[in-house]
Amino acid sequence: MEERNLLKVARERGFILGLENIWFDMAELTCISDREKAAEIWRNAGVWFASRYAMESNGDAVRSLEKELKAFIWNMPEFKLSQGTNELSVRIINPRFSESYSVLFAAFMEGALEALGYAVKSQEVSSGSVRLAAVKGKRKAVPITESLV
């Protein structure tokens, strides 16, 4: 994606630009204090992020999502979404991701997939690696609001 366009899209999608070492460290701290709440926030952010693709994309929301996320996350050695007839798998490899950050990023992707109409049926998450397998057909996710928690 063109750099200037990247900033415009990021701004519209509610993303903020910063140094990843801060985010990684902050992920550690939040996971220590309240892992479930942190995962829920990231999942909601994923739902929010992908909902726009579900509404705006002309046909291939998954490819659009993959393309823009790749642009947002620099230095990612592997980020692949593979789509079958009714399945979708996600494979992310980034040696710099700590275990906590991998867990939170997996939650973000889970929310994003659910917004596109996929339910995650299995996941493998470890330091630097996220693998999700999802199936189509479940109800689309909506962000969890404070009042529902």
Partner 1 sequence: MARKPKGKKLVSVPEDTVDIISGITRKKGTSVTKFIDDVLRQAVMIDSIGFSTEDMAAIAEVIQVQRVLGGTFVPLEVLNFVSGSNRDEQQKEQLEQKWFDSGRLYGRYIREKFESPVTTFSKFLRIMRWDLNEVSLIQNGGSLKLRCISTSLSLEGTALLSKFIEGAAYGMGFTAKNKEFIKGMILMSLMPEEP
Using CB under 8 A as the criterion, which residues of the chain lie in contact with partner 1 when the complex forms? Answer: 2-8, 10-11, 14-23, 25-27, 29-30, 33-34, 37-38, 41-42, 44-45, 48-49, 72-75, 96, 108
Q: How far is the CB of 140 from partner 1 (least distance, A)?
A: 19
For residues 29 and 92, is the Cβ–Cβ distance under 8 A?
Answer: no
Q: Which is nearer to partner 1, 34 or 60 (CB)?
A: 34
Q: How far is the CB of 72 from partner 1 (least distance, A)?
A: 4
Measured CA distances, 88 to 37, 79, 138 (Å): 26, 13, 13
Q: Which is nearer to partner 1, 56 or 146 (CB)?
A: 146
Joined tokens for residue 143: 């962000």
**Cα–Cα distance for residue pair 72/75, rounded to 1 Å:** 10
98: helix, strand or coil = coil
Q: Which is nearer to partner 1, 47 or 61 (CB)?
A: 47
Other CB atoms within a 10 A radius of the CB of residue 139 amount to 8
Q: Which is nearer to partner 1, 50 or 132 (CB)?
A: 50
